[in-house]
Amino acid sequence: MKKVEIHPDAVERVKKFVINDPQLGFGKYVVPIMIQAVYDHGEWQRFDLLPYGPIQLDPCSKVLHYGQEIFEGMKVFRHPDDNIYMFRPEMNARRFNQSAHRMAMPEIPENQFISACEVICSYSKHLVPKRLGESLYLRPFMIATEVGLGIKPSKQFLFIIVASPSGSYFAGDSVKVYIEREDIRCAPGGVGYAKTGGNYAASLKSYSKTIKLGCDQTMWLDSVEHKYIEEMSGMNFFAVINGKIVTPSLTDTILDGVTRKSIIDIARSENLVVEERKISIDEILSAIHSGSCTEAFVCGTAAVIAPIASFMDKDLSVHDLPEASGKISMHLREKLVSIQAGRSEAPEGWLHRIENLSF
């Protein structure tokens, strides 16, 4: 494993950095340092902790033309004893490599990925927020930097981690969902399960329509029958039907969310029934009308868990969830947030303590 080289000017900058804003929002602020690693000649050459700043890219870098790029989203929490912890980082390290494999990019050994995260967290420890629901959001990503307009996998890459002290992702308490029945996010055999920018870029046109219609999130259906729920743009989907928690089973068109998995683990540990199966949008809409679907929610690292208030269909009809909706989702949210924040006991291996490596 390569040691991360610490640049003294990075340390000087981060030491002095403060954020004086009670409304952190999501991704609005970044710490003034970043990890940067270079891949060339078939291996990761070096890992550095540098001052945060613009990166220079040749206009013909492959990422700019062919989108060879992957990323992760993960969170770091301050506990009441003032120690800081990453949440299930080995799941992100594994998924990063699964995305890398699909996008013809080099893997980063899991321990190297986690140790690079540890370094930026340790040097940013005073910037990990204190309040419940806030965290330091880490965004590791990798881009193809080889120069040339030929379409082939790059041989050179840059890996970077930036970190953002963040609050909640959504401004409101619940989300309104627009059901996308025309465009698709991805197709079987494609890259839907990889955390690559193109999947998010593909969602943006629909996102604009969603916002224009007064909704918050697009719900994507399968690309073959335009019938089965897959995920939202950057979040997984759950519903409660007849008291059972249901979520789409994973396929190669759905991102395998760390929050999704954690919710399933928490729910099952409390003897709640969780079914991972195909769910059609028609099943959800008719279950709302019959009263058997009592709640639905979205979840993700950034979003945590947010109850769904309503679904809007293509004909602009609105299908509201019952007013009392959110009992199970809010219970799961509270449980997850309190585990992450060190206020409830965490299942074995869920919290990764950051040792003090810095000043």
Contact, 283 vs 242, CB < 8 A? no
307: Cβ contacts below 8 Å, ≥ 6 apart: 173, 174, 175, 295, 296, 297, 321, 325, 326, 329, 330
Stretch that binds ligand COI, among 11-19, 146-154, 210-218, 296-304 (CB under 6 A): 296-304
Which residue number, 241 or 255, has a Cβ lying nearer to ligand COI? Answer: 255
d(CA 218, CA 231): 9
**Number of residues counted as binding ligand COI (CB under 6 A):** 5
Contact, 119 vs 82, CB < 8 A? no
d(CA 85, CA 83): 7
Q: Name the minimum Å distance from CB 58 to ligand COI.
A: 27
82: Cβ contacts below 8 Å, ≥ 6 apart: none
Q: Name the minimum Å distance from CB 234 to ligand COI.
A: 3
Tokens at 42, concatenated: 């078939």
Q: Which of 271, 279, 246 is closest to 260 using CA atoms?
A: 246
Amino acid 339 reads I
Report if residue 234 touches ligand COI, rule: CB under 6 A.
Answer: yes
d(CA 169, CA 1): 34
Tokens at 128, concatenated: 């990990």
Contact, 299 vs 305, CB < 8 A? yes
Tokens at 328, concatenated: 């199970």
Question: Residue 228 to residues 60, 248, 279: CA-CA distances in angstroms?
Answer: 39, 8, 6
Which residue number, 204 or 318, has a Cβ lying nearer to ligand COI? Answer: 204
Q: Name the minimum Å distance from CB 298 to ligand COI.
A: 10
Pairing of strands 274-277, 244-248: parallel
Stretch that binds ligand COI, among 35-43, 52-60, 180-188, 298-306 (CB under 6 A): 298-306
Stretch that binds ligand COI, among 172-180, 202-210, 212-220, 294-302 (CB under 6 A): 294-302
Q: Quick one: which of 140, 300, 326, 342 contacts ligand COI (CB under 6 A)?
A: 300
Q: Name the minimum Å distance from CB 264 to ligand COI.
A: 17
User: What 3-state class would DSSP assign to 36?
Assistant: strand
By CB under 6 A, what part of segment 336-355 binds ligand COI?
Answer: none
Binding mask 23-62 for ligand COI (x = CB under 6 A): ----------------------------------------
Question: What is the 3-state composition of the chain as percent helix, strand, coil, each rounded to the nearest 5?
Answer: 25, 30, 45
Report if residue 140 touches ligand COI, rule: CB under 6 A.
Answer: no
Q: Quick one: which of 97, 301, 329, 340 contacts ligand COI (CB under 6 A)?
A: 301
Which residue number, 44 or 169, has a Cβ lying nearer to ligand COI? Answer: 169
Q: Name the minimum Å distance from CB 200 to ligand COI.
A: 7
Contact, 220 vs 207, CB < 8 A? no
Q: Quick one: which of 37, 63, 73, 254 contacts ligand COI (CB under 6 A)?
A: 73
Q: Name the minimum Å distance from CB 116 to ligand COI.
A: 17
Stretch that binds ligand COI, among 97-105, 243-251, 286-294, 299-307 (CB under 6 A): 299-307
Q: What number of residues does the chain have?
A: 359
Q: Name the minimum Å distance from CB 259 to ligand COI.
A: 7
Q: Name the minimum Å distance from CB 344 to ligand COI.
A: 22
Q: Name the minimum Å distance from CB 147 to ligand COI.
A: 28
Which residue number, 267 or 306, has a Cβ lying nearer to ligand COI? Answer: 306
Q: Name the minimum Å distance from CB 320 to ligand COI.
A: 24
Q: Quick one: which of 144, 302, 308, 332 contacts ligand COI (CB under 6 A)?
A: 302
d(CA 34, CA 44): 17
Which residue number, 28 or 152, has a Cβ lying nearer to ligand COI? Answer: 28
Contact, 321 vs 288, CB < 8 A? yes
Question: Which residues of the chain form contacts with ligand COI (CB under 6 A)?
Answer: 73, 234, 300-302
